[in-house]
Amino acid sequence: MRTIVSLFIFVFFLLGCSKDEPKISNRWYTQPQVAIGQKVFQNNCAACHGYNAQATVNWKKPLNDGSYPPPPLNGTAHTWHHPMGVLKRTIRKGGAPLGGKMPPFEDKLSEEEIEAVIAYFQSKWESEIYEVWKNKINK
């Protein structure tokens, strides 16, 4: 009995781990890019977008001043509707060109760092979302 209980706990432990594993196979980026991107993200983006790119849950609800809170970048919001060029431009120029609040990063991050940070948050996208992005959005 005890063995069975331990086995169950172990299986759940594995399931729990695999959920947070960065998704890399069949994607445009590599594991080292995701690792660099994670650092770039923690240092530059996490304060607004959350440590796991999960903030803000109520991203569709405007703030009192009419602007929007930082959306989740982890594939649960709208980010996958943007092709690569738009993602890069948003990070380079920030939200100002569209009346938003996100600061620009073109003077802070290199092209490689911007690509790595995109790799990092895309590594959280479920396969279904990534495939739609790859085949329909980012053609």
Residues that bind ligand HEC (CB under 6 A): 44-45, 47-49, 67-71, 73, 77-79, 82, 87, 90-91, 95, 100-103, 105, 117
Widest CA span in the chain: 62
Q: Give the whole-angstrom CA distance, residue 67 versus residue 138.
A: 27
Minimum CB distance to ligand HEC smaller for 18 or for 64: 64
> Cβ of residue 17: shortest distance to ligand HEC, in angstroms?
25
Contact 42, 96 (CB under 8 A): no
Minimum CB distance to ligand HEC smaller for 22 or for 69: 69
> Cβ of residue 59: shortest distance to ligand HEC, in angstroms?
8
> Cβ of residue 9: shortest distance to ligand HEC, in angstroms?
37
> Cβ of residue 129: shortest distance to ligand HEC, in angstroms?
12
Residues 6+ apart with CB under 8 A from 28: 119, 134
Closest residue by beta carbon to ligand HEC: 95
Contact 84, 118 (CB under 8 A): yes
CB-based burial, 61-81: b 16+ in 10 Å, e otherwise = eeeeeeebbbbbbbbbbebbe
Minimum CB distance to ligand HEC smaller for 24 or for 59: 59
Q: Give the whole-angstrom CA distance, residue 88 versus residue 79.
A: 12
Return the residue matching tokens 């594991």: 31
Minimum CB distance to ligand HEC smaller for 16 or for 66: 66
> Cβ of residue 86: shortest distance to ligand HEC, in angstroms?
8
